[in-house]
Chain A
Amino acid sequence: MSYVDKINSVHLDILKEIGNIGAGHAATSLSTILDRKMNMIVPRVRILSINEMIELAGGPETVVASVFLRIEGEVQGNMFFILPLKQAAHFIEQMTGTEVFSFDNLPYPELALSALSELGNILSGSYLSSLSDFTKLSLFPSVPALCIDMVGATISSGLIELSQVSDFVIVIETAIGEAVESSTFINGHFFFLLDPDAYEVVFNSLGVPLHG
């Protein structure tokens, strides 16, 4: 029996809350860095095949900037912060004071890439530290790895650990975006995926063990 089958609707709600808390803190951090009002999109938790997850992130061939971290500590998992190129360029402009930045010219300047990695680092860091407070588990993010390439290539490479255990993944998806008048302009998506063994640890720590 796969770990996915043991997860019931209460567990899904808890995962949603994890996404809520994590992305809420990340949005606050982003708001502080950029000095803008940011919104968070209410999270979705879904059980998907890897192919479906790639579709969700924009389709296998779409080129995006993604910051990937491995999570170590009492539980292990993966986190992706995925930005459309246009948005990534926009962040680089704001953080480095460059007037116009474009991904069309190679090689990319070192400063731009490190600003983007740092942004990913700060946002994922605030996501994870709030999660750590909520679950009372200690979590350590790896140094972020930045990759500007096709969605299919980046996500499948990040999911090697998970793919050995299951053809399905539990994706906690949240988005953060700039608040523009009454609507929200999406800036980036977080995909948070715990390793299969980690679910039991998280749910036990929160007092809602898995059965089955």
Chain B
Amino acid sequence: MVELSNIIKVGIADMNTVQSPALIRTSGLGSCVGVIVYDQSKEIAGMAHVMLPDSSLSKTGQINHAKYADTAIKELVDRIVRDGASIRNLKAKIAGGSQMFQFSSGTDLMRIGPRNVEAVKKELLALRIPIVAEDVGGNSGRTIEFDPKTSLLSIRTVNKGTKVL
């Protein structure tokens, strides 16, 4: 992570794609889930920072595809296939879905982290993309960075340092 290389940033409810030698990164995942879909042989990857489980929750006319698990993953796959990834080789890594605030009277929306994780897994299963690594749940924020060359995902939390999956 120290060497100077090009890092593509992904904001909240945002997505982007990357080819080696660049890296892709998203900061401050809380209840949101970071999904990486990649083709190791082509060294191509895409990352989405998903905020909500299901686009049917949307109360706006126009949908930001990157915001919802169901729409984001489909679009991410489309984009990296367009960039040259082969759909049969796709694998996924996911991180996030924490519970940042503990309320005693937890409404359903306060359980959004676990629901996001479930929704992401369901969507990946439907597209038959295996999840090879995950770091989900807990109650810490995460910053994640993926290297399409090595397919390694490094995950930094405030109190537990950095780990690599």
Contact = CB atoms under 8 A, between A and B. Distances in A.
Nearest to B58: A164
Interface string B42-63: 0000000001100001111000
Nearest to A149: B141
Nearest to A196: B59
Interface in A115-166: 142-143, 145, 147-158, 160-161, 163-166
A147 B100 contact: yes
Interface string A165-191: 111000000000000000000000000
B30 A51 contact: no
B158 A63 contact: yes
Contacts of B99: 157
Q: How large is the interface on B (under 10, 10 to 19, 20 to 34, 35 or more residues)?
A: 35 or more
A41 to B, nearest CB: 25
A149 B30 contact: yes
Contacts, number: 103
Contacts of A152: 12, 27-30, 141
Interface string B125-153: 00000000000000011110000000000
B5 interface: no
A198 B16 CA distance: 34
A8 B28 CA distance: 33
A102 interface: no
Nearest to B110: A160
Interface residues of A, number: 33
A142 B107 CA distance: 12
A110 to B, nearest CB: 14
Contacts of A160: 31, 51-52, 109, 112
Given A143-B104, A157-B30, A51 B12 contact: yes
Nearest to A153: B141
B158 A145 contact: no
Contact of B140 (A2, A149, A151, A164): A149
A156 B103 contact: no
A145 B28 contact: no
A50 B58 CA distance: 16
12 contacts: A50-B13, A60-B143, A61-B143, A147-B100, A153-B28, A153-B141, A156-B51, A157-B32, A157-B101, A157-B113, A165-B60, A166-B60
Interface of A: 2, 50-51, 54, 59-61, 63, 68, 70, 106, 142-143, 145, 147-158, 160-161, 163-167
